[in-house]
A = this chain, B = another copy of it.
Amino acid sequence: MKDDCKTVRVQAPATVANMVCGFDVLGFCLDQPYDIMTLTLLDGTSDILIQHLGAYDLPTDPALNVAGAALIALQEELDGAMGFEVVIDKRIKPGSGVGSSAASAAGAVVAANHLLGGRFSREDLVRFAMCGEKVASGVKHADNIAPCIYGGVTLIRSIHPLDVVALPAPALYATVVHPQIEVRTSDARQILTQKVLLRDAIRQWGNIAGLVAGILKGDNALIGRSMEDVLIEPVRKILIPGFDQVKTRSLSAGALGGGISGSGPSIFMLSASEETATAVAEEMAVVYRGIGIDFHTYVGPIASAGVKIV
């Protein structure tokens, strides 16, 4: 029986960062796709052993692996030597823009914390998992990590010091389309200018304030009209064929709004009902069939829970 407690399996879900107007600070949790991770505690050693199931050619050296780097950060705050064996069944395609690396990092530390009796807070876990994100993209961002751990919608008010604000999951359905092209997070960051017009920044923070108010007031119309991005989307959408068509057709089909998921190439839309969200998925499919790019779509609620112990 005791040995059973030393192994845990988790589902680490995909997440959507930015939510259009909340670049680098907002994100929400999906209920699928998700990675399945199995962690086993190794007493008396600090070894981290990583094994990947599936087709993706991901590093297994812990320092170069997102789950490994997150676990190393966690180990640094442990008293004794504790190692982990990690088996990752990666189902969220790397580079899809729905937080594939965040899922591995978040799943690893939530699972490890469960094995250790829950000694760390959720904010601690975000802090550790951010070290995994740094391995993946060179930047310690938390806008996928936080919703993956907290569920619902999260706001990273500040990175230094870390300040995560949990917002409730609005009763909305997300539609995500992942066109099978590659957009590297590092490239998507590099095309952004370092300076922006104050006028545009004001418009952006009016929108993020509106979006947060809409989420907390349950005002879907306000959520919809606040999902406007005058700074990032106009630049990044160039990297995503079909973006404008997807957006136009989705809104016509009844979506409240949406835009690029994280740094792309996935595009998300939010709708008030599952029926509309499904109709939106069909519109997205029409666009990518027309262009001749392979794609996957997902439809599901904004998930109120993040990484789940299964």
Please give the residue numbers on chain A whose beta carbons come within 8 Å of chain B beta carbons, in ascending order: 21-26, 155-158, 163, 165, 167, 192-199, 201-213, 216-217, 222, 225-226, 231
Contact pick for A22, options B157, B165, B205, B225, CB 8 Å: B205
Bound form: Cα–Cα A25–B204 in Å: 10
Cβ–Cβ contact B208 & A205, under 8 A: yes
A163 to chain B, nearest CB (A): 7
In the complex, chain B residues whose CB is within 8 Å of the CB of A163: 210, 225
In the complex, chain B residues whose CB is within 8 Å of the CB of A157: 206-207, 209-210, 222, 225-226
A98 to chain B, nearest CB (A): 21
Cβ–Cβ contact A213 & B23, under 8 A: no
Cβ–Cβ contact B205 & A205, under 8 A: yes
| Given A155-B209, A157-B206, 20 extra CB contacts under 8 A | A22-B209, A25-B202, A25-B206, A155-B213, A156-B206, A157-B209, A157-B225, A157-B226, A158-B203, A158-B206, A158-B225, A163-B210, A163-B225, A165-B209, A193-B198, A194-B197, A196-B196, A201-B204, A205-B205, A212-B216
A145 to chain B, nearest CB (A): 15
Identical chains bound together, number:
2
Bound form: Cα–Cα A16–B202 in Å: 18
**Across the A-B interface, the 6 shortest Cβ-Cβ residue pairs:** A157-B210, A216-B216, A201-B201, A205-B205, A25-B206, A195-B195
In the complex, chain B residues whose CB is within 8 Å of the CB of A202: 23-25
Bound form: Cα–Cα A167–B197 in Å: 27
Bound form: Cα–Cα A26–B213 in Å: 12
23 A-B pairs (CB sep. < 8 Å) = A24-B202, A24-B206, A25-B206, A25-B209, A26-B209, A155-B210, A156-B206, A157-B206, A157-B209, A157-B210, A158-B203, A165-B210, A167-B213, A194-B197, A195-B196, A195-B197, A196-B198, A196-B201, A201-B231, A205-B209, A209-B209, A212-B212, A212-B213
In the complex, chain B residues whose CB is within 8 Å of the CB of A216: 212-213, 216-217
Cβ–Cβ contact A165 & B212, under 8 A: no
A137 to chain B, nearest CB (A): 16
Beta-carbon nearest neighbor of A204 in chain B:
B205
In the complex, chain B residues whose CB is within 8 Å of the CB of A197: 194-196
A112 to chain B, nearest CB (A): 28
In the complex, chain B residues whose CB is within 8 Å of the CB of A206: 24-25, 155-158
In the complex, chain B residues whose CB is within 8 Å of the CB of A212: 209, 212-213, 216
User: Which of A22, A165, A225 counts the most chain B CB atoms within 10 A?
Assistant: A165
